Amino acid sequence: MKNKINIIRLLLPLVLLVFFTSCKKEIDKQNPNTSFGKVYPIAGNQNLLGSCKAPDGGYLLWGYTDGNAMGGQDGFLMRLDSANNLIWYKQLGGSRNDIICKAAYDKQGNIVAGGESNSFNDISDTTKLGIYNRMYVVYVTDKGEIIWEKTYTDNSGGKNVLNRLFLNSLLVLPNGNIALVGSTINFDPKDFALVTYQSNKAFIQCINNMGDTLWNCKYHLLDIDTFGVSYNGYHGVNATLTNDGNILMLLCKGISNAYVDGSLDKTDYSLTLLKISPNITTGENKYIWRKHIKNLSTYLLNYQNEFIPFKMIDTLSEKYMMAFGNGGLFNFGTFDKEANSIASFNNHKFNNIESSLDFEVYNNSIYFFAPNYFYKVSLNGVVEWEKKMIGSDIKTGFGIYFKPDKSITTFCTYFNAQSELDIGALILKENGEIKTKP
């Protein structure tokens, strides 16, 4: 017994040294010049891709990390309470690369998260040039416990060289099912020698809360898919729900499409809205209506713009807005429930605008982030204020939430003192200035 006590006495200082050293490392990761309301120093680079409100008033965040808990690049979910305190953080995926692109709460209060993965490639196909992405969906309790996780190929008969896939929206439908929206080349009927010449098709895949596929449908901009070769095809860049429970999907055509005879498609079909029933069956171009958008400049869009922010901004009048930035230029357009244009402004110059950004409309003003900048802009494009986050090194911001005290909470990734990406919660005053400092 005496020997055991002596061993404990010898080991205790060592244990305490390790503990305080570990704590100091986490504290040192925080950038002392970063004026955040709260920071979350987690091992590895944290790439934030989105956030949403939780049923209890807290928040759910998601993205991907190289923290390597699972191997390679992993997706993550992060749960905060209403005071922005961390409740839990969970990495998801397999032995290779995984990403969580979208997440939402369902009617049972569980979390459905979707993204892309090449960790679960269990299909043997010698015609593939490499390991390809599959859709990855995980169903999790609000405590972070995995109920199930599954992957999908969206078209098991696809003969393309590489299944390049982008999951851009995840919707919980009124009937409790889940719509996965994006674009893929796995519907291409041809087996080209080069991935470059494969054509994207927009798709929706509908699953239930057990992960079973109910239907999938592909979409393109013409009634008959007459393109022989498409340098970029059609992207299902985003989707939202209408008041009557249908899906409103935004399609975007990338750079010019070429016909078999070598001529180019000159039609102004760059952006298109489709209204789709959530109860259709597997097929092609099954929609209620389709309307092309002609008054919003899209020449800046290229093959890198697979996602465009798009959401309902007024539930009473059922008004929608889409927005994107590129090369420092900001573009937006608003539409009614029949896709009739209401207003738009194009090519306004702002600091550090990236190809896609998150925005929110509140009291007839648009709020959005650019790296190190926060903006408030009127609906006709007039800048009401521009705030530079002094002493910060912010990369991206996702989620803008307005509190009863008129403060603004938003989440972002920023570079800490070690040049690693950490997640922070910015607490701002009504005028965009920092309200809370650590």
pLDDT tens, residue by residue, 166-190: 788 999 999 999 999 988 766 554 4
More confident: 132 or 324: 324
| DSSP secondary structure string for all residues of 75-113 | EEEEEE-TT--EEEEEEE--SSBEEEEEEEE-TTS-EEE
- Give the H or E element holding residue 7: helix 2-29
Alpha-carbon gap, residue 8 to 17, rounded angstroms: 14
Is it the case that residue 145 has pLDDT exceeding 50? yes
CATH class of 47-372+392-403: mainly beta
Burial of 229 (0-12, 13-18, 19+ CB in 10 A): middle
Q: Are strands 271-276 and 289-293 parallel, antiparallel or unpaired?
A: antiparallel
pLDDT tens, residue by residue, 359-389: 899 999 999 887 788 889 888 888 899 888 7
Q: Please tell me the predicted confidence (pLDDT) of residue 85.
A: 93
Q: 126 — alpha (psi -120 to 50), left (phi > 0) or beta? A: alpha
- Express as a percent the part of the chain with pLDDT over 70: 66
pLDDT tens, residue by residue, 29-40: 444 344 567 889
Is it the case that residue 330 has pLDDT exceeding 80? no
CB burial string 193-216: b at 16+ within 10 A, e below = eeeebbbbbbbbbbbebebeebbb
Average pLDDT over residues 281-308: 66
Task: Compute φ and ψ for 203, nearest 5 degrees.
Answer: -145, 155
CB burial string 4-18: b at 16+ within 10 A, e below = eeeeeeeeeeeeeee
Q: Mean of the per-residue pLDDT values for the chain?
A: 75
Alpha-carbon gap, residue 406 to 178, rounded angstroms: 34
Q: Which amino acid is at 26?
A: E
CB burial string 116-128: b at 16+ within 10 A, e below = bbbbbbeeeeeee
DSSP state of 2: H
pTM: 0.82
Domain boundaries, the chain: 47-372+392-403
Q: How confident is the model at residue 393 (pLDDT cuts 50, 70, 90)?
A: confident
Task: Compute φ and ψ for 17, nearest 5 degrees.
Answer: -65, -45
CA distance readout (Å), 342 to 238, 243, 255, 296, 317? 20, 18, 26, 11, 12
pLDDT tens, residue by residue, 229-258: 334 566 788 899 999 999 999 887 654 443
Q: Are strands 394-402 and 408-415 parallel, antiparallel or unpaired?
A: antiparallel
| Span of 144-158, 196-210, 245-259 with lowest mean pLDDT | 245-259
Asked whether the beta carbons of 207 and 177 are under 8 A apart, the reply is yes
pLDDT tens, residue by residue, 54-113: 999 999 999 999 887 666 788 999 999 999 999 999 999 877 788 999 999 999 999 999
Q: Please tell me the predicted confidence (pLDDT) of residue 280.
A: 86
Contacts of 430 (CB under 8 A, 6+ apart): 406, 407, 408
Residue 125 is encoded by which pair of tokens?
């196909």
